[in-house]
Structures are given as C-alpha cells and as structure tokens.
Structure 1
Amino acid sequence: MADHVSSTGDPAPGDPAPGDSAGDDAGFYSKGPLRLRGSQVPETTTDQSLLDSRGPSDWTHEDPWRVLRIQAEFVEGFDSLAKIGPAVSIFGSARLSPDTPEYQDAREISRRISARGNAIITGGGPGIMEAGNLGAGEAGGASIGLGIELPFESGLNGHVELGVNFRYFFVRKTMFLKYSRGFVVMPGGFGTLDELFEAFTMVQTGKVTSFPIVLFGTAFWQGLIDWMTTTMLASGTISDRDMNLFTLTDDIDEVVDIIGTAIEGEQQ
C-alpha cells in the first residue's frame, strides 16, 4: 500500500508514521489486539465512537456492551504487566527522529535507567518512544510498549519486547500510572503534555506517592515552567509545594540518579 497523507499532513489511517520502525507491524493499523490494513481500516477509532455524542440514541443500547470490552482491556493490561518489576515511563514526541539530540538523550537515559534493573515503558510508537525502547534493549532490560489506536499511527516500534495495544486512552493511562515508579518527560506535543499533567494531578492529589517526575530539556520546558510560576502560582491556583512536584534538568546523570534513588529507596 503506498504511503499517503491527509490534508493536515498526518499519515492517513493504516499508513506508518514518518520514521516509524514498527518492524513486522509496519503498514498495519492497530485496533486492540487486531492488525488491519487496506479496506479493513476503520474510519473512526474506538475512543471516538465511545465519546461521540452526535447521531441517534442507539448508543444507549451499545454502551453497556462496551463496558465488557473496557473490562477486557483492563484485565489484559493487568495480566500482561503484573510481573515486570520496577519500571520507569519515558514520554516524548513521536516526531523526533534518530538524528535529533532529544532522541539520543532519551536512548541514553533509558539505557542507564534500565541498567539499574528497571523496565522501561513507552507508548510504543516512533520518535522518543522508540528511543526509550531501544535504550532498554541495549541494557538488556525489559522494553515495554503500551500502544493506542490512533488514526495516524500504526503498530509498535521494532524495539518493543512486550507490547500491549489499547483501544481506550483511559485504560492505557491507568497502566502507565499503576506500573511506573517514575516519569521522564522529554520534549513532546499534546500527548506528552497530557501524560505530564496527569502525573502532576495524581501526585498533587495523593493518588500516587513517591513518584519522581523529571522534565528533561530546559530550553524546551522553561517557558511552561515560567508560565506556571508567573500565572498559576501568582494567581493562587497552585501552591509553592506544587512547583516541587518535578525536577527540570539537562543533566542525564541527574535524571538517572533521581529516578534510581527513588526506586531503590522504595525497595529498602
């Protein structure tokens, strides 16, 4: 199937994202445990169907059945990840290719964290996610990818050893939070920000504890931190304590030390 792009510049459903090294999954569209291609690729994602409130009221009869599918995704995720041991999630853009400094930094961070006995969990896609899985594999650690059904990405990158594909974002997010002992957040887009603020919220509200969050890349993240300080903190919508929920750094040694010390402290 020839590659083509939509009017927005994103790959069309069923086509691999630019730079995607999905291995045997290349060219396939992932829909939960299914791999689809060509005419079998759906026009909408499962999440979109669940959340779309337009149209007739037939959805009132379909949603109870969706609960069973959602339950099955939770069971599959819990069963697949229960024995991975301590793990760290690496987040970042799918659009940063191997020739970027961010990709190489993510690869080295993952390699060194994994060398300390920790599994690496990513979203399973290209870019920073691929770098995280590659680094884990180079250190001989567990390389895990939690994929998601999206209209413009297909399959897991070729460095994932344990991969789980999800239909629903909220199930996937639960797996990241449940099985990760810390987050390393590289430069990224909306998806990265979504995961970052999800982590902030869970730590702030005490839903997860002893959970280090490290933002890597001062030049990229400083503007956001400045806005949080001058706008959110200044207006009283967050507290001084909230600004201590994370560490901002450009130092790989510091990242590895923060994450490793936190996890090893829990194990003592």
Structure 2
Amino acid sequence: MKQSSNKNRYFCSAADDAEVAKTAQLESSESYRLAYTDEDFLLRDDLRSVRLQLEWIKADLVQQENKIDTTVVIFGGARFPDVDRAQQSLLKAKTMLAQSPSDAHLIKQHVIATNVLKNSHYYQEARLLANKITQLSLALNGRQYVVVTGGGPGVMEAANRGASEAGGKSIGLNIVLPFEQDPNPYITPELCFQFHYFAIRKMHFLKRARGLVAFPGGFGTLDELFETLTLIQTKKVKSVPVVLVGIHYWNKLINFDFLAEQGAINQADLELFKIVDTAEEAWSYLCEFWQVEP
C-alpha cells in the first residue's frame, strides 16, 4: 500500500485508499467506485451543493497556503487590448471596409474598432496601477494588497502583467466561458484558478479585498462593480475604497446622479465610490484610504 505523505497520520488517507481501489476487482462497477473518485457521480445535478463547497474550499485553501492575506481587485474589459493590438484590429477593419464601403456591418465594425483603440490606453493605466500596488505589497511582506483579476485578456491581463513586472504575485480567478476566458500568461501559476459558478468566484473576489478598481468594461465589469457597491451599501461587507477609472466612460455609461435624484439610492451612496481619470489619481486615492505613503 502506498504510504501516506503525512508521517503523523493515524488513519489511512483518502489518496491511499483511492490507489488501492484502482486494483479492486469491482473497480469498473459504477456503484463500487469510491464516491470521491467517481467523476460521473460528482457531476450529477444532485451534487451541486458539494461542487459549490469544493470551488469555495479549493481556492481558499490554496490562497492560505500561498500566504495571501489581503488583495486588491482590478476589474475591466476583456475586449480592451493594448494599443498595438487595437491598432492592428482597426487597420484590419479599415482594409475590409475599403473593399466594401457601403457594407453596413463593416461600417459598424470600423466604428467599434475605432472606439476600442480609444479605450486601449486603459490597458496601460491598469498595468501601471497594478505595478504600483504590487510594489507596495512587496515593501510590506508580499502577503498584503496582492492584485487579483478575472484572469482573462484585456484590462485583466494588463493588471496581472503590471504585477508580474513589479516582481510580485498576482491572482487570476478565471471562469469557464465559451469565449474570452483563457487565462492570461502573467498570472502567478500557482494562483491561477478556474471556476464554474459565478457566485463562488465573486465571493473570492471580495473575501480578502482591501480595495476595488473598475476600469471600463462590459456586462461582467458592471456585474462585479454593482454587486460590490450593493454589499457595501447594505453593510454585508466592510467598506473598502472603490475606484472607477475613466471619467468620460463612466459618466457616459451610468448617470449616478440620476439614481440619487430619483430616490433610487441615497445621496450618501454617491460617496461609496470615486471616479478618477488616471492610474496616478486612483493610486493617490487608494493610498489616502489605506493611510500609506504613495
């Protein structure tokens, strides 16, 4: 029998028994398989509650083992790449439009590519901010203010990249999607996670968070931003600094003053977040909130 890796263990480990079970006579029988090694059983609808627990526990334990105490969450659009890639996409759109200048679809694609290029500077801003946050983390003990993103491309990639360039760790909380969600190459490998359940993933975003920065993005960014604001507003989580980067983008996208004027939120709720235009402004606001030297 395979020896347990824990010399002080009294009982035989689950791993030991799983190894023994491989040679058992009825190992091919579905009913005879060990429950925790039976993938078909674990994927049944009836086991959803167990899978929810596993997704929570796995990421939590791994972060504990890697000594991650607090984090800073950086959200942002997967579809806003760096300037070079955005320029390439616009050039491709221009070339195609030149071949069929009256094609409505190509006209629309050209407009979108033009706007994506305008927004591509947020990639560099996220990269810069994550770099600064990670330098602060390293100046402490490397366990505080660790950058965490959704793990995908675009602004998320930029933040993980900035952390990596500073020489620190960063976390990626990926989720299984039919598009956009391959993990970017800048995530610290041992802190690159994959989730099935959005709810568990969002809980992990906030469990250790000491700040949240939202760069321009789409439905996913808005979902995560408003969930955070709701939890702070209703005091389900402790107040943390929430920074929205991109004054024109956010003021054009959401009329927060309108919500207050209509009585949908309190005027005081407008103080739950800060809208700024650059990484430098976001950094200054975070440092002021955390009471650390910028």
TM bucket (normalised to shorter chain) is: 0.7 to 0.9
Structure 2 equivalent of residue 92 of structure 1: 76
Structure 2 equivalent of residue 166 of structure 1: 195
- When normalised by structure 2's length, the TM-score is 0.66
Taking the TM superposition and a 5 Å limit, the aligned residue runs for 1:51-200 are 62-82=44-64, 83-99=67-83, 100-117=120-137, 118-161=145-188, 162-200=191-229
Task: Work out the CA distance in 1 between the residues paired with 2:234 and 2:253.
Answer: 21
Task: Work out the CA distance in 2 between the residues paired with 1:264 and 1:139.
Answer: 22
Aligned length: 203
Structure 2 equivalent of residue 229 of structure 1: 257
The residue type equivalent to 1:191 in the other structure is G
Q: Tell me the secondary structure at the aligned position of residue 115 of structure 1.
A: helix
Checking the alignment, whether the CA contact within 8 Å between 2:174 and 2:181 is kept in structure 1 is no
Aligned-residue CA RMSD in angstroms? 1.7
Checking the alignment, whether the CA contact within 8 Å between 1:218 and 1:249 is kept in structure 2 is yes
Identity of aligned residues (%): 44
Gaps of 5+ in 2: 1-43, 84-119, 138-144
Structure 1 equivalent of residue 35 of structure 2: none
Confirm whether residue 245 of structure 1 aligns to residue 272 of structure 2: yes
Task: Work out the CA distance in 1 between the residues paired with 2:266 and 2:239.
Answer: 19
Task: Work out the CA distance in 2 between the residues paired with 1:80 and 1:155.
Answer: 20
Task: Work out the CA distance in 2 between the residues paired with 1:224 and 1:212.
Answer: 21
Checking the alignment, whether the CA contact within 8 Å between 2:147 and 2:160 is kept in structure 1 is yes
Q: Give CA-to-partner distance per residue, 1:90-121, whole Å, 9 cap, x none.
A: 10000111112110011001101111112110
Task: Work out the CA distance in 2 between the residues paired with 1:257 and 1:66.
Answer: 43
Q: Tell me the secondary structure at the aligned position of residue 225 of structure 2.
A: helix
User: How far is the alpha carbon of 1:264 from its aligned partner?
Assistant: 4.8
User: How far is the alpha carbon of 1:132 from its aligned partner?
Assistant: 0.3
User: How far is the alpha carbon of 1:254 from its aligned partner?
Assistant: 2.4
Task: Work out the CA distance in 2 between the residues paired with 1:94 and 1:168.
Answer: 19
The residue type equivalent to 2:55 in the other structure is E
User: How far is the alpha carbon of 1:194 from its aligned partner?
Assistant: 0.3
Q: Give CA-to-partner distance per residue, 1:32-88, whole Å, 9 cap, x none.
A: xxxxxxxxxxxxxxxxxxxxxxxxxxxxxx543111111110101211223213211
Q: Give CA-to-partner distance per residue, 1:184-220, whole Å, 9 cap, x none.
A: 1000000000001011101101111230000000110
Task: Work out the CA distance in 2 between the residues paired with 1:196 and 1:222.
Answer: 15
Normalized per residue, the structure richer in helix is 2
CA change 1:221–1:190 in 2 (3 A) is: same
Instruction: Select the residue among 210, 214, 231 that pairs with 2:243.
Output: 214
The residue type equivalent to 1:209 in the other structure is K
Task: Work out the CA distance in 2 between the residues paired with 1:75 and 1:264.
Answer: 32
Larger-Rg structure: 2
Q: Tell me the secondary structure at the aligned position of residue 172 of structure 2.
A: strand
Q: Tell me the secondary structure at the aligned position of residue 74 of structure 1.
A: helix
Q: Tell me the secondary structure at the aligned position of residue 264 of structure 2.
A: coil
Checking the alignment, whether the CA contact within 8 Å between 2:125 and 2:278 is kept in structure 1 is no
Checking the alignment, whether the CA contact within 8 Å between 1:91 and 1:129 is kept in structure 2 is yes
